[in-house]
Amino acid sequence: MNCNKTLVSSLMFCLSVYAFADQNYTIVDTGQIRCYNNSTEIQYPENGSAFFGQDAQYQGNQPAYKDNGDGTVTDLNTGLMWMRDPGSKKTFDQALTDASICKVGGYNDWRLPTIKELYSLILFSGTDLDPMNTNSSRQQPFIDTKYFKFQYGKPEDGDRIIDSQYATCTLYQSKTMHGNKTMFGVNFADGRIKGYPIGPSGPRGEKKYYVMYVRGNPYYGKNDFKDNGDGTVTDNATGLMWMKLDSGHLKAGINKDGRMNWQQALQWAEKLEYAGYSDWRMPNAKELQSIVDYSRCPDVTNSAAIDPIFEVSPITNEGGKKDYPFYWTSTSHCGVFGAEATVYLAFGRGLGWMQDRLTSQRQLQDVHGAGSQRSDPKTGDASTFSYGRGPQGDVIRIYNYVRCVRGGKAKPCTTGPKVEMKQTSQHLRLNAMPTEQAGQRMTQAPSGADFIRRLDKNGDGKISKQEFDGPPEHFQILDRNGDGYLSEDEAPQGPPPDRNRPPQRP
């Protein structure tokens, strides 16, 4: 029976490959259907107005799946078949070896996905989490939970709520943190690609990941670039045409060095006339990730993580080293604090200011790897984030580079869902809380003011490490701008952190 099922499946797969022979790397839309300004949801902008040209206004191959009823799910766009349930977490080595003994659905040709295969499932209708939040009931992950079983990190396992990282077989050619051997993985809890440690990693033992095996379409994620000789590059695998150059080469932006904030980048892309075309747009997250070359990185190939057919503007990074830019996408990275961030892809090192647990000194390191996907504030002053933000001190630049795209299946979309209300950061914080707690917060003084008032011993209006009454690792997470103090807007917005929680992991 299994042999017959495998034969039928193979025949169906051959037919699907034949049907999509001209485009075997189908990029699925991000699922983002709402538009945003620098902080909140807005009505779809009109052509020529501020914030026009963002992700939701160009809709491509819409996510479409089929639950096969046997523990498998078929992606009707890519032809890839997935396990529905990732099961218990595994170490990287377990994830590799267990693929050969997996028999889900009666198939015996499962494999650990590449980072491009796994990223095909991400949906930016999800909501980024506050790492300090312990309530997942009102959260929206970055994957379709109608078809795929999803689990946030479990405190009983010693995990944070955001610890829902999924493994791939794609290794970083260099190393991260303090020399860790590294795998690229997708976190469907917070909507990011990061380099994660594999192998022994500290007193808690080897880090474990969720695993969804994949089968079918062996061509997915493999580019087929052609230099058109006119300053453009066509990827015959995806049907997309790209600028061979980037905004740095074209001396774009206010400072004419290629760097722009998100609003400026959208406007520049929409007005761009280049190589005889005027229909360029800023790529969405999944389009831009499709041209990352994970076999390349600054420390090994002395290049950006992209095929050398493209030209990349070199930069000098925060540590004074030659590096390569972060590139904006048109995709907002929405979270509990609003739509204040946008997705970028790091084609250079994924830098962060890691704090030494013993000395508290911060050191600039490649914490997530070239090819990581993170997010930056859409506007603001990067100098206020002296030591980055987040558990690994991700560097904040705000002014990033752009590489435009055209073609593919993306079609302009002029109308979207009704905007119920313009949500503010306060509304989003309240919505992330249990109803009773949110109601109490509405009638009480702001928790940030209470927090400062309770701990501010010297009356300077902020909390130092010495004044903080929680674990040092929680101070590091809360200190989003890395200035060594907690201000009112950095105060925890939920119940006090559990002092018995283990040290933070990436």
Asked whether residue 488 is domain-assigned, the answer is yes
Tokens representing 169? 């077989």
pLDDT tens track for 99-124: 999 999 999 999 999 999 999 999 99
Tell whether 314 and 374 lie within a shared domain: yes
Phi, psi at 415, each rounded to 5°: -130, 155
Long-range pairs for 448-455: beta carbons < 8 A, 24 or more residues apart: 448/487, 448/488, 448/489, 448/490, 448/491, 448/493, 449/488, 450/491, 451/486, 451/488, 451/491, 451/492, 452/486, 452/487, 452/488, 452/491
Tell whether 112 and 238 lie within a shared domain: no
Tell whether 231 and 218 lie within a shared domain: no
Asked whether residue 50 is domain-assigned, the answer is no
Number of separate domains in the chain = 3
Tell whether 145 and 252 lie within a shared domain: no
Range of 74's domain?
A: 1-30+61-222
Last residue of a domain, one of 222, 256, 274: 222
pLDDT of residue 503: 38
Residue 501's CB is within 10 A of a number of other CB atoms, namely: 16
Asked whether residue 52 is domain-assigned, the answer is no
Tell whether 261 and 383 lie within a shared domain: yes
Phi, psi at 374, each rounded to 5°: -130, -155
Gap between the Cα atoms of 370 and 305, Å rounded: 6
Would the pLDDT of 505 be above 60? no
Q: What is the mean pLDDT of residues 455-469?
A: 73
Last residue of a domain, one of 206, 222, 238: 222
**In sequence order, which ranges of 381-446 are alpha helices (DSSP H)?**
425-431, 435-443
Tell whether 297 and 367 lie within a shared domain: yes
pLDDT of residue 474: 62
Tell whether 207 and 235 lie within a shared domain: no
Asked whether residue 364 is domain-assigned, the answer is yes
Tokens representing 374? 């993170």
Tell whether 217 and 311 lie within a shared domain: no
pLDDT tens track for 425-447: 444 443 444 333 333 333 333 45
Tell whether 321 and 355 lie within a shared domain: yes
Tell whether 250 and 159 lie within a shared domain: no
Q: Looking at residue 460, which CATH number applies to its domain?
A: 1.10.238
Q: Is the pTM of this model over 0.85?
A: no
Give the whole-number percent of the chain exceeding pLDDT 70: 83
Tokens representing 118? 């796994």
Asked whether residue 38 is domain-assigned, the answer is no
* Helix and strand element counts for the chain (H, E): 10, 24
Measure Cα distances from 309 to 219, 243, 252, 370 in Å: 20, 11, 21, 18
Instruction: Give the list of residues 6+ apart from residue 224 with CB closer than 8 angstroms, or none.
Output: 25, 235, 236, 237
Calculate ∠ Cα 326-190-147, nearest 5°: 120
Give the whole-number percent of the chain exceeding pLDDT 90: 67
Asked whether residue 40 is domain-assigned, the answer is no
Tell whether 177 and 233 lie within a shared domain: no
Q: What is the mean pLDDT of residues 300-326?
A: 98
Asked whether residue 252 is domain-assigned, the answer is yes
Asked whether residue 440 is domain-assigned, the answer is no
Using alpha carbons, select from 187, 219, 240 the residue that is nearest to residue 58.
240
Last residue of a domain, one of 195, 222, 249: 222
Tell whether 238 and 217 lie within a shared domain: no
Tokens representing 188? 């469907």
